[in-house]
Structure formats: structure tokens, C-alpha cells
Amino acid sequence: MFPRLASIAVLPLVCGAIVACGGDGSDEPGVELPEGCEQVAEPQPKQADLRKPRELRPPAQGTAAVVDTSCGSFEIELDTRSSPKTAASFANLVTEGVYDGTAFHRIVPDFVIQAGDPRGDGTGDPGYFVDEPPPGNVAYTRGTVAMAKTEVEPPGRSGSQFFVVVAADAGLPADFALLGEVRSGLDVIERIARLGDPASGQSGAPLAPVVIESIALEGR
């Protein structure tokens, strides 16, 4: 399964499906970056220790998260209708700056790209979690954005780690809280995916750092 921020680090996990598992994040010499990607340094680990707000209000319908990365920008339209708690928590983390200056720590070609860990090693979390089981008819297809968690956590639990599906269909069970859909910038998602090392398997160790410079919320 995909790891959740905080739980990701605490338990000895077997990297697979969608568990939080990080790579070594090293910038291998001689790696040719895809056109549109900038060479950047691996971010320093961040400490996130937030308290869960007493009231999490989802943003207005149609709100998008604009994700600016070292490989370009893409937009996630938040699914506030099907996943109001998940969208509200994500928006809170964006406002708190949890994602700024963090890396895509897991890149698995033809599967998913995963980010949102302040620690950068696949074990971090924001200090709290929310529970919101995904819709029963959810399908994790290309462009779907969902929240990562550990295998031992209940369906729909999330911290700050999220993943974007690159495959036509990731073939995942309906266990991961739905965040939304990539509204624009699928070419950027595919560009990032090209920096996954096929030899690393499900651990998804990136060939070179890809950094989230900032995430901002925008209405239609």
C-alpha cells in the first residue's frame, strides 16, 4: 500500500503497492534529466508536528491545488464532494506550508509518483491523520490523486503523503482516500515518472531529486 506520512516511518514495511517507502534520494552523477526538469539538490528533512484543527472545512467545489515542481507545474482538482475531509485536510496542510520544499521520494515508472513526506524518506507525517473511506466505485486510473497509507492502517486513513497514478490503471484496492484528479499537467506527471529507476522496483528510488517548490490553492 502507499504509506501515510507519519505511519510510513514507524513500522518495518514491505515496499509494495502503495506503502510509504522512500529511496536514497541521491542525485546520481550522469543522469540526463528530461527536458523541462531542473537540476536541484535533495531537500533537507522538515519537521511537521501539527495539531488536527477542531474543524476542517473543505474548500469550495472546483478548487485546484497548483503544484509547482522542479519539473514543471500541474493542477489537482480537489474532490470536495466525494472526499470533503480529505480535501479539507490537504488544503490545511497546503496552507501550513507542509509540502513546500519537499521531494517526490518514490517514483515507480508505469505505476505512481509519490510525495508529501516532510522527512523525505517515506516515513514522515504532519502530526495528525484523518479517516475517510474512498467511494466504493473508486478507480485508481491515470491522473487519479489519492493519499498514501501503511498496510496496517484502515482504508481511507491519510496524513500528508499522496500519490499520482501514472499507469492506465494501477490495479489497487479501494483502500486509499481519494483526493482528486490531475486537471492539467499530465505531461509533467509523465516527465517526473521518467526519473524513476526501473532497477529499484517498488521502492521507487528516484534517479535524481524532483522537488515540490510550492503548492497553492486556486478557485475556478
CATH number, position 127 = 2.40.100.10
Can you say whether the dihedral through the CA atoms of 144, 149, 154, 157 is positive or negative?
A: negative
**Is there a domain that residue 47 lies in?**
no
**Is there a domain that residue 32 lies in?**
no
Residue-wise pLDDT tens digits, 72-124: 999 999 999 999 999 999 999 999 999 999 999 999 999 999 999 999 999 99
Residue recorded with cell 475517510 = 132
What would the mean pLDDT of 3-13 be, rounded to a whole number?
Answer: 31
Strand partners, 178: 146
Q: Grid coordinates standing for 210?
A: 524532483
List of residues 6+ apart from 199 with CB closer than 8 A: none
- Domain enclosing residue 195, as ranges: 7-22+60-218
Separation CA 70–CA 37 (nearest Å): 6
List of residues 6+ apart from 59 with CB closer than 8 A: 78, 80, 87, 88, 91, 217, 219
User: For the chain, what is the mean pLDDT?
Assistant: 88
**Is there a domain that residue 163 lies in?**
yes
What own/partner pairs with CB < 8 Å and gap ≥ 24 does 168-173 have? Answer: 168/141, 168/142, 169/139, 169/140, 169/141, 169/142, 170/111, 170/112, 170/140, 170/141, 170/144, 171/140, 172/17, 172/18, 172/140
**Is there a domain that residue 53 lies in?**
no
Strand partners, 78: 180
| 18 band by pLDDT with thresholds 50, 70 and 90 | low
**Is there a domain that residue 49 lies in?**
no
Q: Grid coordinates standing for 149?
A: 497509507
**Is there a domain that residue 199 lies in?**
yes
Domain count along the chain: 1
The DSSP letter of residue 1 is: -
Residue 31: the pLDDT is 86
* Dihedral over alpha carbons 138, 141, 146, 151 (to 10 degrees): 80
Separation CA 33–CA 64 (nearest Å): 28
What would the mean pLDDT of 6-31 be, rounded to a whole number?
Answer: 43
**Is there a domain that residue 43 lies in?**
no
Is residue 58 scored above 70 in pLDDT? yes
The backbone torsions φ and ψ at residue 130, rounded to the nearest 5 degrees and listed phi first, read: -130, 155
pTM over 0.75: yes
Residue-wise pLDDT tens digits, 156-168: 999 999 999 999 9
**Is there a domain that residue 42 lies in?**
no
